[in-house]
Amino acid sequence: MPGATVALRGMAWDHPRARDPLEAISANWTRKTGIPVAWDARPLKDFEDQPLEELASRYDLVLIDYPFAGVAAESGLIVPVDDWADAAYLADQAAHSVGPSYASYTWAGRQWALAIDAACQVSAVREDLWRATGRGTLPGSWSEVATLAADCRDTRGKVAMPLNPNHAYCAFLSVGLSLAGRDFWPTGASVQQAAGIEALEFLRRLVRDLHAASRSEDPIGISDRMADMDEILYVPLMFGYSNYARPAFRARMLRFGNAPHGPAGAIGSVLGGVGMALSARSRNPGAAAGLAREIGSPGTQSGIYARSGGQPGHGAAWDSPEVNALTGGFFRSTRATMNQAFMRPRVPGHRRFQPLAGELVHECLWTDGMPVSECLAEIGRLVDSLLARN
């Protein structure tokens, strides 16, 4: 094979959506270049919270969550994409961003990762179970979600939401955004008091009617349970995984749609997705950058990346009839929610803020030990101590 043999190591997260396309692309890359590539994977919780310092010293390429953008910029652990991708490549990435995905990795005038994967919180339904109920249209608003959850409380096919601490935090933001719009959480300030209280009170009532797994599961756990068993009829809000809309991925397929809207019509949803970052400690930065550019390119994203089970971040793939045909229209059906998804804070303090705020929201929703007003006040104190000063 041409080229010198150089070992590259990458860190993904532990789901076929992450691993399968990276391994397929890397296998082709190795055949072309002679450069072997090995991918490790960490659990979703570690993807959301694990310190970047632990990863950058061991891996050439690291998949990161965009709230790490501030840490990436200030730590010196990540090489800006501007240094290893030319202006035309970056202009294409920006022009074909799905919602704010590209912008979510922009910090201090530099680009810190390629948005190779795009996601936000959306809804999901088991269509076969839904048809069997004889119900009409799916819920469009949070009030309709609450009515459905109450109606299904004592039936086998229930409503569920992933509401472990990290995802309880994101659900709180999304319901608040549906109530107050983009001003629910102004930059550098606390969330709006009235909308924050209303969001927590609504979720606190809703959880009484949800499937019991909602308390501890993340989106992967809920999606697996929903696809493999007949216990969950509908999920109003979770980070969407297009794999579950593909035939034969699990026992049953899920159908995804936009997130619910609030009384004024605003859709509330938090941006997710994945960025590919190049470690400043890579021993082979040229080879690593070449592989990263290949993974993020429009042809790869619309081709082998999507075919191998990936959830592309490039808009050409989201617009592709072929990619939508692979996934039951997943990308077309969730694009409206994706286009207005809300970015969580990206300042360095958010790494500590999110798990702490998540534990507060989780306790408030699932126990009687924390009043809503106290929860919101504690979140405000965390904002002041960890976010506002940044």
pLDDT tens, position by position, 80-92 = 999 999 999 999 9
pTM of the model: 0.94
**Whether residue 165 sits in one domain with residue 263:** yes
Is 3 inside any structural domain? Answer: no
> DSSP character for 40?
E
Per-residue model confidence (pLDDT) at position 1: 40
pLDDT band at 273 (very low <50, low <70, confident <90, very high): very high
Distance between CA 352 and CA 48 in Å, rounded?
11
Does 4 score more than 60 pLDDT?
Answer: no
Average pLDDT for 193-222: 97
Bin 134: left if φ > 0, else alpha if -120 < ψ < 50, else beta.
left
**Whether residue 332 sits in one domain with residue 197:** no
Per-residue model confidence (pLDDT) at position 286: 96
Is 16 inside any structural domain? Answer: yes
**Whether residue 125 sits in one domain with residue 32:** no
**Whether residue 320 sits in one domain with residue 213:** no
Average pLDDT for 315-325: 98
pLDDT in tens, 33-71: 999 999 998 887 777 667 788 888 899 999 999 999 999
Does 27 score more than 60 pLDDT?
Answer: yes
**Whether residue 102 sits in one domain with residue 186:** no
**Whether residue 48 sits in one domain with residue 115:** yes
Average pLDDT for 308-329: 98
pLDDT band at 276 (very low <50, low <70, confident <90, very high): very high
Is 293 inside any structural domain? Answer: yes
**Whether residue 250 sits in one domain with residue 157:** yes
Is 12 inside any structural domain? Answer: yes
Is 241 inside any structural domain? Answer: yes
Average pLDDT for 27-37: 96
**Whether residue 186 sits in one domain with residue 168:** yes
Domain hosting 332: range is: 8-119+271-338
Domain count, the chain: 2
CATH number at residue 139: 3.40.190.10
Is 1 inside any structural domain? Answer: no
**Whether residue 292 sits in one domain with residue 260:** no
**Whether residue 114 sits in one domain with residue 87:** yes
pLDDT band at 6 (very low <50, low <70, confident <90, very high): low
**Whether residue 211 sits in one domain with residue 354:** yes
**Whether residue 125 sits in one domain with residue 247:** yes
b/e string for 69-106 if b means 16 or more Cβ within 10 A? Answer: bbbbbeeebbbbbeebbeeebeebbeebbbbbbbbbbb
Is 2 inside any structural domain? Answer: no
E-only strand ranges, the chain: 8-13, 37-42, 61-64, 78-79, 106-107, 110-111, 114-117, 121-125, 158-159, 232-239, 255-257, 274-279
Of 298, 316, 338, which residue is a domain's last? 338
- Kindly tell me the burial class for residue 2, based on how many C-beta atoms sit within 10 Å of its own C-beta (0-12, 13-18, 19 or more): exposed
Does 131 score more than 70 pLDDT?
Answer: yes
Is 287 inside any structural domain? Answer: yes
